[in-house]
Amino acid sequence: MALTEAALGRVQELVPGSDGRYELAGFGRRQGWKDRIHTPSTISSLHWSSRLGSDEEPTGPSGNLRAAPTGATRPGDMQVDRNRFLEEGYLVVPQVVPPEQLDRVRAAYEHLVACRRAIGSRDRKPDDPPGGAWEISAQPRLHLNRPPLADQLDARAAAAVDVWLSEGAYRVSSDLLGVEDPGVTEMMLMCNPMRDHGPAPWHRDLHPIDTAPLEGYINDIVEGGPRYIQWNIPLYDDSVLWVLPCSHLRFNTDDENRRLLADPRVPLPGAVQTHLNAGDGVVYILPILHWGSNYSTRLRRTIHGGFSTFTLCSSDGFAEHLSDPAKSAFERWSHRSAELQNQTERALRAVIGGDPAGYLAALDRLHPGRGEKGRLLTTVFLCKAACFVQATRGPERPDVPDELLRRGAGAHAITLNWGPEFASRFSTAEAKVLWERFRPLDGLLRAEAEEFTPGFQSGPMRYRFNEMPAGYGVADFIASWSGAVGEYGERNGL
């Protein structure tokens, strides 16, 4: 489901209310989408009173945008307003972990923290302190589904996994994504450091060098909704996270860029501090600007991860300790992941074979119901996949930055990077043809000179942070296989 006309009409324009604070107002359809993402309004505070339920108090810039209760307090009884979530980019869900389950979940995670700290101490480098990486990290984390911790999961840790199959996390994610069976992408825990590290910088969880420019994500979200959503679920009261509402649907403003370049570790105008009680959750759409405001020694145990149709989260090594529903869920997700990898291969083989109909069919199987903007975003993801195949299997290294190849050495399923082993499906000759057909698109994603935009998980680079190729579509990509100019080339004198 895309944003409705009514939802689009409330996303960005803000006008002063009668009390001097600001309210969201309809920005109608006076501007084109290009204008809306380039010239957003900036504000100093937000006032949600006109759009909150009658039982909720108005909130200022440090308030929470909460799911509206229907009289009960369990997430399963919540009315989740998906349109509102798509507009603002985040939502606070009360009691994702119910109070009577908190002690059990805390105990499970403390067992895993002890295991991880022991591993860190054992594997410390010669110059590390006794606690190893855990002791020096600004934000120590557990990665439940990755070695070496995945091998430590046992019956005592089962509750740490079961959280992800709860009504609060799983069902709400299904509603917000608009899919029946979202899978867990990562299972993490963010912990307090051993000494104060202060605030982190504002950022979007986006690195365009190996994914896509921000505009590609924005257009896809507006057209069909997000493909991935992310959660923070604290086991103790937590106010660390700030978000900038609506920033997932626009570029940074000039003022925000100036502020981020001057000091990216202070509040931005219009930002909202999330105040989460133990067991509450905040769920957000990834391109949103957000900020970890204080990494102090205060006890912090915040569950972190996300949901998507595209996952590589295996239960290998700990499945025997899971409940039957959890086992079944991981099995479903594993089978789906294998099929999506096969569909990714089919799409790339259609490019190698010069089969437009086969390519379009593969796009629709990968992302059913996506429109033209969504298919283009998927094509950009496949362009990166082709680069990684060429780097692994091709006769020569692709002419791309080392940073891009470094990121390709890992896996990022939500952008169709299935890891280096995926390249073994292609021969050297196939890898060469594949990259030759994607290389023109790679060139269009590059800037003429190195550029930098603050608030991303990337340093200066030759790939564009914000803009997709103007006027370019999937038909232009297909036309380029045979050297045909296509509509894009005709418009741009190619």
Do 267 and 350 lie in one domain? The reply is no
Do 262 and 369 lie in one domain? The reply is no
CA atoms of 402 and 244, how far apart (whole Å):
32
- The answer to whether residue 409 sits within a structural domain is yes
Count CB neighbours of 418 within 10 A. 22
Do 102 and 133 lie in one domain? The reply is yes
CA atoms of 437 and 382, how far apart (whole Å):
11
Do 417 and 474 lie in one domain? The reply is yes
- The answer to whether residue 44 sits within a structural domain is no
What's the pLDDT score for residue 66? 58
Give the total residue count for the chain. 494
Do 297 and 367 lie in one domain? The reply is no
Do 121 and 56 lie in one domain? The reply is yes
Do 280 and 143 lie in one domain? The reply is yes
| pLDDT tens digit sequence for 201-225 | 999 999 999 999 999 999 999 999 9
Contact in structure between 229 and 306 (CB atoms under 8 Å): yes
What pTM was computed for the model? 0.85
- The answer to whether residue 327 sits within a structural domain is no
Do 291 and 361 lie in one domain? The reply is no
What's the pLDDT score for residue 141? 96
Using left for φ > 0, alpha for ψ between -120 and 50, and beta otherwise, residue 196 falls in beta
What's the pLDDT score for residue 55? 33
Q: Which domain holds residue 420?
A: 332-491
Count CB neighbours of 258 within 10 A. 11
Do 385 and 475 lie in one domain? The reply is yes
Do 471 and 341 lie in one domain? The reply is yes
- The answer to whether residue 43 sits within a structural domain is no
- The answer to whether residue 363 sits within a structural domain is yes
Look-up of token digits 């450091």: 193
Name the token pair of 286: 């990834």
Q: Is the dihedral of CA 113, 114, 115, 116 positive or negative?
A: positive
Name residue 3's amino acid.
L
- Residues lower than pLDDT 50 in the chain: 1-63, 68-75, 484-486, 488-489, 494
Name the token pair of 249: 């649907």
CA atoms of 382 and 210, how far apart (whole Å):
10
List Cβ neighbours of 97 (8 Å cut-off, separation of 6 or more).
105, 163, 166, 168, 233, 235, 278, 279, 281, 303
Do 60 and 169 lie in one domain? The reply is yes
List Cβ neighbours of 42 (8 Å cut-off, separation of 6 or more).
253, 255, 256, 269, 270
Number of separate domains in the chain: 3
Do 246 and 280 lie in one domain? The reply is yes
Cα 477 to chain centroid, rounded: 26
Q: Is the dihedral of CA 52, 54, 56, 61 positive or negative?
A: positive
What's the pLDDT score for residue 313? 81
Instruction: Label the pairing between strands 228-234 and 183-191.
Output: unpaired
What's the pLDDT score for residue 490? 53
Instruction: Label the pairing between strands 461-463 and 228-234.
Output: unpaired
Cα 475 to chain centroid, rounded: 27
Instruction: Label the pairing between strands 22-24 and 90-93.
Output: unpaired
- The answer to whether residue 412 sits within a structural domain is yes
- The answer to whether residue 368 sits within a structural domain is yes
Q: Describe the crossing of helices 356-366 and 324-352 by its angle, rounded to 10 degrees.
A: 160
Complete DSSP assignment for 399-428 = SS-HHHHHHHTS-BGGGTB--GGGGGGS-H
What's the pLDDT score for residue 211? 97
Report the CATH number at residue 53. Answer: 2.60.120.620
- The answer to whether residue 75 sits within a structural domain is yes
| pLDDT tens digit sequence for 26-46 | 222 222 333 333 333 222 222
What's the pLDDT score for residue 293? 97
- Among 161, 155, 215, 199, CA closest to 380: 215
